[in-house]
Amino acid sequence: MEEVKYVKNGKKLGVVGGMGPAAAAEFLRQLAVKCPASIDQEHPVIYMLGDSEIPDRGAAIFGQGPSPALRLKQDLLQLCAMGADVLAVPCNTAHYFINEFVEELPVPLVHIIEETVLAAQKLSPEGVWMLSTKGTRASGLYQKVADKYHFTLYIPNEEQSDRVQEVINQVKANHFLQAGTIMKALVEELWQERDLPVMTACTELPLGYDASGLPQERSISSIGALADAVVRQLYDEVRL
């Protein structure tokens, strides 16, 4: 019987984090767990730039603060100069600005929006609830990709979106218990309206979901989807 083995292909990963720090740390944790490695040397080389001083992405989308585009581009190019062969940014809203210059980057970027939509469609072809920052929702980032794949997203109402934002704020402040409590009540309310999984389309939200005690199989994590896609870029399948 043919055996399949996954072998590190030598590509180095560059990660821009700090948006927020807990989300980037969780991305790296999941990446370590998901890599098909049994010793240190089988894990990929990762260059991590935790730039917590990147301007607020949501505020910029609404014209209430400076654009983070230049800083994001500088950080990504710095990682390329360090030797990164593949790039990842564990922040959904940042991709609104990354899309402006992504084709100018010298190496490929694993796009968190695309990967999360594809993962959601695989889990729940009939559609999902989209939980995100108000900036991501207003930008249409996810809606455009979902339309491309003929996939249905259901959007919480304004009051529910305020509570989603509060979950994000609590995670950024390291108040995980409070975040989980708010998330649990919100998601159970959404499930009363429409019994579909939730797509956590902001990288703070998977942490809030984890703290809620809700079933993991009912959510699609943008952090998890990005980590899975990155692993596919860094390992090759070898048939023995």
Longest Cα separation, the chain? 60
Strand partners, 86: 13
- CA 176 → CA 99, 131, 199, 203, distances in Å? 31, 17, 19, 14
Residue 133 has a CB neighbour count (10 Å cut-off) of 24
3-state helix, strand, coil in the chain (%, to 5): 50, 15, 35
State the catalytic residue, choosing from 87, 91, 145, 207.
Answer: 91
Q: Which helix (H) or strand (E) holds 210?
A: helix 205-210
**35 counts as catalytic:** no
Give the N- to C-terminal CA distance of the chain in Å, as an integer: 9
Give catalytic status of residue 91 as yes or no: yes
Helix, strand, or coil here: 167? Answer: helix
User: 110 — phi, psi (to 5°)?
Assistant: -80, 115
Which regions of the chain does DSSP assign to beta strands (E)? Answer: 4-8, 13-17, 46-50, 86-88, 109-110, 128-131, 153-154, 198-200, 219-221, 235-239
Q: What single-letter DSSP state applies at residue 17?
A: E
Coil vs helix vs strand at 138: helix
**Catalytic site residue from 28, 54, 182, 202:** 202
Q: Do residues 75 and 51 make contact, with C-beta atoms less than 8 angstroms apart?
A: yes
Beta bridge partners of 128: 153
Residues classed as catalytic: 91, 202
